[in-house]
Structure 1
Amino acid sequence: MSRLHTTGAVLRRHARARPYDVTLPLALERLSLAAPQPGEVLVRVTAAGLCHSDLSVIDGSRVRPLPMLLGHEAVGEVVELGSAVRDLAVGDQVVCTFVPSCGSCRSCAVGRPALCEQAAAANGSGALLEGGSRLRDGTGAVVHHHLGVSAFSEYAVVSRRSLVRIDHAVSPQIAALFGCAVMTGVGAIANTAALRLGETVLVTGLGGIGFAALLGALAGGASTVIAADVSDGKLSLARTLGVQHTVNVADPQALEQVRDLTDGGVDIGFEAAGAVAALEFTYRATRRGGRTVTAGLPHPEQQVGLAPVRLVAEERTLQGSYLGGCVPLRDIPAYIRLYQRGRLPIDRLLTHEMPLAEINTGFERLAAGEAIRQVVRC
């Protein structure tokens, strides 16, 4: 196959005003898609999730090269293989991961593929791991890839190193969530924070990643799990999922409530709100000797204020978590098995499904805090 055409949601300008269902920052365009290079795969996208990482590009918090075809949390079916791909077959169901692993840089060599240096350079420039873009618009101009995936489209060409084959028994609308929300949330608890049986956990910020972290903490044997958010509706859902305690962070006594519930603070505080105030709250709610982990992505100019003397004297840990510290080929199948056994009820997090034509409405819901995880059917 030389080239095919695909319809995708393209962003051409950052920071358009809300509401997005009126200003329409994403436009459906007919694009041409080059055939996969030797180490690449052509995928028919069957479902793609809407994530704050996409939203941060739309609102300008994360500046990326434009125009760009967005979408990074996705699942699809293999249509065509590059000549060097030997371990996949046409028809396989695959989850896309937003950090491909080159396998040869220092980070990959020490088992930290989320920090792959070649992937970081490619993702930052809007290219695929093998270099360049396979997308062109109607004038022949380059359209950039989003995090090596560009999933808000009927078809995508991605690096083989961005794909994990999974069981066909998992429905696409659920499988898509394992590509970002589940890896990031569950992985942050299991890998980055290294939850030990019986520890206490606070999760601040109940989006898709925060809820996935809650489920990961419950599945991993935490003795007490506390959910914190400003939405009473999301806190109510957290309680139905098995969380023992909830705290509305708009309450002036929220910090004291967490400390009272845990005899001075939690062992693990996880922040997924993407707001400095949420991270500072989570850090203060973590006990002496505890670990505070963040997967939030506030605007790059925002800064956190903390007292280094407490970091030292109380032997605190403050750590970032990207891709949940996951090794996707190892962790995605493991998390899917937990889901299939009923221990990670990820399906409870899916609040909306929509066709690609309604994607701007979906992002307005996300920006307004009215959704947990949404998927478009591509």
Structure 2
Amino acid sequence: MSHYMNGLVVRAEGVPAEIVELRLPEIGPGQVRVRIRAAGVCHSDLSMVNGTLRPPHPLILGHEAAGEVLEIGDHGSAGPAAENRSNPDGRRAAVGDRVVLNWQPACRNCWFCEHGEPWLCSTSHGVAALENGITLDGAPVHVTLGVGALAEQVVVPENALIRVPSDLDFDSAALLGCAVLTGTGAVRNTARVQPGESVVVIGLGGVGLSVVSAARAAGAAQVIAVDVSEAKKGLAEAAGATDFVVSSENLSKDIRSRTNRLGADHAIECVGRASTIRAAWRATRTGGQVTVVGMGAADDMVQLSALEIFSSARILRASVYGQADTDLEVPSLARDVLDGKLSLDHLITDRIGLADVPAAFDRMARGEGARSVVVL
């Protein structure tokens, strides 16, 4: 039986996204069909549109989402993590289950997975888009980060499912799959912020605000939130920032003036530009750590002199998907939300429909708001 659904598609580079009818494939072994109930509009999706990234086309946008399982194929070869096996038959989920979609599922068999780094899984790391059988006018369509979640339904591998409690609202569940996990993981797993330390957060979208909240939760004494827009101040304070700074050419001096002229212990960059990575570097104290979370363009080069790398003794590293084992950490974050330990209220500034996503991209480009969530 053929299934059809609407999705937000970019047909070619430079062409505006449009809602079109797509045909889903029959579900094969190891695949599942999921009805999307909520999907976040992420900066990575904007990067697929504005030329920062150059994915193949036509392309269904979206990757941060939650929904409910509609159909499950036969057992495939991908082995789910034991911690997520809660059904009697050992499947990751059953029809009707509420799930978060993992846009970088671990195979559990490659070198990186076997050495405790599933966020670098060689089967999914660095995959901007792929085909999974969905077609438009009979021709194959690519899906963003293997998901294509700005659509009414998706077809994904079974190991991309992460079950969450049925009383967790879909809006919150969607954000756990990217913004919250990425931001929280950058603080806990990559930077490993300690109580009493100072943290600068550059870029206050959904991920950056999640970093702010996680840094405060980790016990940081000072969390300095930085953005180009003064309008982000209220959001930053709601997330737990102790200071707010509008970015300028004097950013490093502003940060040092607030940190006993030393610079911050940590700078976490959530923009993905050479200029802001360099600003994060300069705002960090000697011996401090710079964590890059933002995903930038291949030709945007960061320049650091050999002498300053040596003399500053700073650490510069990236945080990919929060450096997290998603099968363990997403359910943990879900429990924190339901227990009241983690509030996501400040992250969602707009609830929209599929047709409103281009306007959400415009707001994002202007630096307005936090997360727009498509409700389906």
Q: TM-score range by the shorter chain?
A: over 0.9
Question: In the alignment, is the contact (CA less than 8 A) between 2:193 and 2:215 conserved in 1?
Answer: yes
Counterpart of 1:254? 251
Per-residue displacement from partner, 1:316-369 (whole Å, max 9, x unpaired)? Answer: 110011101111011112222233333332121101011112222222222222
TM-score, length of structure 2 as denominator length = 0.92
Matched, 1:334 2:332: yes
Question: In the alignment, is the contact (CA less than 8 A) between 1:35 and 1:42 conserved in 2?
Answer: no
Matched, 1:319 2:310: no
Displacement of 1:36 in angstroms is 2.3
Displacement of 1:248 in angstroms is 1.3
Counterpart of 1:31? 22
Counterpart of 1:20? none
- Which of these residues, 85, 97, 105, is aligned with residue 102 of structure 2? 97
Distance 1:339 1:268 in 2: 26
Displacement of 1:177 in angstroms is 0.7
Counterpart of 1:305? 303
Counterpart of 1:19? none
Matched, 1:55 2:55: no
Question: In the alignment, is the contact (CA less than 8 A) between 1:267 and 1:290 conserved in 2?
Answer: yes
Displacement of 1:274 in angstroms is 2.1
Greater shift, 4-13 or 338-347, is seen at 338-347
Distance 1:298 1:120 in 2: 15
Q: Which runs of 5+ in 2 are unaligned?
A: 77-90
Distance 2:287 2:293 in 1: 20
Displacement of 1:170 in angstroms is 1.5
Tell me how large the CA RMSD over aligned residues is: 1.5
Distance 1:216 1:64 in 2: 32
Distance 1:34 1:227 in 2: 45
SS across alignment from 2:150: coil
Equivalent runs, 1:69-88 vs 2, <5 Å: 69-84=60-75, 86-88=91-93
Question: In the alignment, is the contact (CA less than 8 A) between 2:92 and 2:162 conserved in 1?
Answer: no
Per-residue displacement from partner, 1:217-264 (whole Å, max 9, x unpaired)? Answer: 0111112111111111102321233311111112x5432221122220
Greater shift, 341-350 or 182-191, is seen at 341-350
SS across alignment from 1:196: coil
Counterpart of 1:107? 112
TM-score, length of structure 1 as denominator length = 0.92
SS across alignment from 2:62: coil
Counterpart of 2:370? 372
Displacement of 1:313 in angstroms is 2.9
Counterpart of 1:42? 33
Per-residue displacement from partner, 1:123-152 (whole Å, max 9, x unpaired)? Answer: 34x32xxxx4220112x1000111111111
Greater shift, 80-89 or 323-332, is seen at 80-89
Question: In the alignment, is the contact (CA less than 8 A) between 2:232 and 2:368 conserved in 1?
Answer: no
SS across alignment from 1:180: helix
Distance 1:5 1:310 in 2: 57
Aligned pair count reads 361
Question: In the alignment, is the contact (CA less than 8 A) between 1:98 and 1:162 conserved in 2?
Answer: yes
Distance 2:343 2:279 in 1: 28
SS across alignment from 2:308: helix
Counterpart of 1:278? 276
Distance 2:252 2:92 in 1: 51
Question: In the alignment, is the contact (CA less than 8 A) between 1:94 and 1:166 conserved in 2?
Answer: yes
Distance 1:346 1:240 in 2: 10
Displacement of 1:64 in angstroms is 0.7
Question: In the alignment, is the contact (CA less than 8 A) between 2:5 and 2:21 conserved in 1?
Answer: yes
Counterpart of 2:143? 145
Change (3 A) 1:225 1:80: same
Displacement of 1:315 in angstroms is 2.2
Question: In the alignment, is the contact (CA less than 8 A) between 1:103 and 1:113 conserved in 2?
Answer: yes
Counterpart of 2:288? 290
Amino acid at match of 2:333: Y
Change (3 A) 1:285 1:7: same
Distance 1:118 1:375 in 2: 28
SS across alignment from 1:117: coil
